[in-house]
Each structure stands twice: as structure tokens, then as C-alpha cells.
Amino acid sequence: MCFNKQIGRANWLMFLLVCLLVILAGKSGQAEEQVARTTLKVEKIACGACLRVIDAELHKVPGILGMTADLAVKQITVDHDRKISSAEVAVAVTAAGYPARVLDSAILADSQAHRFQREPGFGSGPACCNPGGSNPVADSWRELCRRFFPFLRRN
């Protein structure tokens, strides 16, 4: 009986030691990089085409990681390196023709940052803009051809 208690205690101590080593190993590595998240109010955005223009302009700025948008409240959220100021992000969006003002800026872990999902430029690479979805430019041309050249329609 006494032998079993000692084995049980030894296993318990070994478990605690392993847990402690795992915790220390996680903290001893380099601290995770931090990035900035800037929320901008952009009054002129109205549709996805506006967002494509802003997206293309932001792709040109080194250090900008990605963006998300909420068209209902006319806001975009841009994740970028901490070396870039929030004002510089607003200037980049304004340069695209969409006057922007900074609403909020925060620091977050790199793992939480939004990343661009495609390469710069419209329709570049095999994934294009909207993999599995429709291409707005191709859809527009298709619609024009359907309306003005009905005899070219495929069955």
C-alpha cells in the first residue's frame, strides 16, 4: 500500500514538473510581435468597388497587413506594422480618393491581425479576386453582351 502511494505521488510530481516546463518553454521564447489596428471613418464608400480601390491603394504601402470593412457604418479597419502611424494609413486611403479620418487605434498580437487574402492588383494570380465566386468585371461584360447582342447568346 505504501509503495502504491509513493508511485502515485511520483507520477503526480512528474506531471507537475512537465506542466511547469511547458509553461516556462512557452514564455521563454520571443514575445509575439505586435501590430497596430486602425479604424477609419470613410464617408464616400458605398460598395465593393470602392473597397477594391482602397484595397489596391493599401497594397502599395509596405507594412500594411490587411483590412476589413463595414459598409453599413462606412468604416474600414486596417492592420499594419507599428512603424506606420494611424495618420499615414488615413493619408493612404485619402490618396485613393476616399477622405478618411481616424476613429480608433489599438495594439494587438500579430496572430490576431487581418491579412490580405490575395495578391495586389485585380485578378492577379490563379486565385483571382473572388475564388469560387463571380468576377464583377466579367459579369458586367456578360450583361452588356446579353443586352446588346442577344443573337450571340449561348443556349
The tens digit of pLDDT for each residue in 52-62 reads: 888 888 888 88
> For residues 46 and 128, which has the higher predicted lDDT (pLDDT)?
46
> What digits encode the pLDDT tens for the residues 73-130?
999 999 999 899 999 999 999 988 899 999 988 888 877 777 776 544 444 334 444 4
Give me the amino acid identity at 46.
Answer: A
**How far lies 126's CA from each of 42, 120, 131, 132, in Å?**
31, 13, 9, 11
> How is residue 18 annotated by DSSP?
H
**What per-residue confidence (pLDDT) applies to 105?**
87
Domains of the chain, by residue range, sit at: 34-117
Predicted TM-score of the model (pTM): 0.56
What is the four-CA torsion angle of 102, 108, 111, 113, rounded to 10 degrees? 0
Other beta carbons within 10 Å of 39: 17
pLDDT of 19 above 50: yes
Class of the CATH-defined domain 34-117: alpha beta
